[in-house]
């Protein structure tokens, strides 16, 4: 069964909008876990627009849960990730002017930097290192060559597809990319823009999904339903969706 990780960046975004101390992302993470999440995802951005260094320290020291630390390859952030020792480190591209992560990593173009960062993450005791990539077979092969042991498929193109044909086309690419990653021995994660409505078709079409990382839709729905209910509803959809060959 596919596992559900919840991204809590948006709780920090709300807190920071008023330069307040609440809502507390760590308290929100506890609610996510109480709702059945298998782990917590956060992105320590170079500009610290949501999650802060102190949040990271508290997530590590106060929670007994799988942590997925999303990071760019900027040296400062890599050092914090190494010191934090999350179970999973997911390398993502980062541009200061973007509203949210746009597009996957270009693993081929960034090969040298990735090949220097990835072994350091493993050497620090981090068990899983995944690369956030678009469903491109050459990129998937480059992930395997980079030394990472997982990928996170960028599902934004699926979530944003404007019509049925486009959606089916993107799903085909996602399924092929997941299959290729699996053949290369890479663990398959996925995320970006997934929600209660679009998940069933996605989960039924894409094989080998070990974990999905969902943030915005679950946290937004929590305003009306509460975090526990929002998480448990999403989990129910994720767990009841099975890949159909
Ligand atoms: N995975 C990665 C690498 C991301 O950058 C994001 C966005 O923060 C997500 C998953 C979750 O996307 P969303 O918030 O749209 O569910």
pLDDT confidence band for 189 (50 / 70 / 90) = very high
Domain boundaries, the chain: 3-240
pLDDT exceeds 80 at position 83: yes
Distance of CA 118 to the CA centre of its chain: 17
Mean pLDDT of 158-163: 97
Residue 229: name the closest of 92, 36, 97, 54 by CA: 36
Residue 42 β-bridge partners = 69
CA distance 159 to 214: 12
Token couple for 68: 């997925």
Residue 191 β-bridge partners = 154, 213
Mean pLDDT of 8-14: 98
CA distance 151 to 245: 21
182 CA distance to ligand 1 centroid (A)? Answer: 21
pLDDT exceeds 90 at position 37: yes
Neighbour-count burial of 7, counting CB atoms closer than 10 A to its CB (0-12 exposed, 13-18 middle, 19+ buried):
buried
Tell me the catalytic residues.
Answer: 43, 70, 192
Question: What is the overall mean pLDDT for the chain?
Answer: 97
Give me the pLDDT at residue 245, please.
78
190 CA distance to ligand 1 centroid (A)? Answer: 9
pLDDT confidence band for 9 (50 / 70 / 90) = very high
Q: Is the CB of 91 under 6 A from ligand 1?
A: no
Give me the pLDDT at residue 52, please.
98
Which residues 6+ apart lie within 8 Å of 134 measured at CB?
Answer: 103, 104, 153, 154, 157
123 CA distance to ligand 1 centroid (A)? Answer: 26
Counting ligand 1 atoms within 8 A of each CB, the residue from 89, 192, 219 with the most, and so the one to mutate, is 192
pLDDT exceeds 90 at position 95: no
The pTM is what?
0.97
pLDDT digits (tens, 9 = 90+) for 101-160: 778 999 999 999 999 999 999 999 999 999 999 999 999 999 999 999 999 999 999 999
CA distance 109 to 43: 22
Q: Looking at the domain covering 3-240, what would its CATH class be? A: alpha beta
């Amino acid at each position: 069964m596919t596992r559900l990780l919840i991204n809590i960046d948006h709780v920090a975004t709300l807190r920071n909008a008023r330069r307040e101390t609440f809502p507390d992302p760590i308290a929100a993470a506890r609610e996510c876990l109480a709702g059945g999440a298998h782990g917590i995802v956060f992105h320590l951005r170079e500009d610290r627009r949501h999650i802060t260094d102190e949040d990271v320290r508290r997530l590590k020291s106060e929670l007994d849960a799988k942590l997925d630390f999303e990071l760019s390859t900027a040296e400062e952030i890599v050092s914090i990730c190494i010191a934090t020792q999350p179970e999973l480190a997911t390398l993502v591209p980062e541009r200061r002017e973007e509203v949210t992560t746009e597009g996957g990593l270009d693993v081929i173009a960034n090969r040298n930097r990735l090949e220097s960062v990835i072994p350091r993450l493993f050497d620090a005791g981090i068990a899983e290192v995944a690369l956030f990539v678009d469903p491109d077979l050459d990129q998937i092969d480059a992930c395997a060559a980079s030394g990472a042991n997982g990928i996170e498929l960028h599902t934004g193109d699926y979530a944003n597809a404007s019509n049925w044909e486009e959606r089916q086309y993107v799903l085909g690419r996602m399924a092929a990319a997941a299959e290729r990653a699996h053949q290369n021995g890479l663990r398959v994660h996925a995320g970006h823009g997934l929600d209660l409505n679009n998940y069933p078709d996605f989960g039924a079409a894409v094989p080998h999904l070990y974990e999905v990382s969902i943030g915005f839709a679950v946290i937004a729905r929590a305003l009306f339903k509460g975090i526990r209910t929002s998480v448990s509803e999403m989990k129910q959809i994720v767990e009841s969706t099975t890949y159909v060959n």
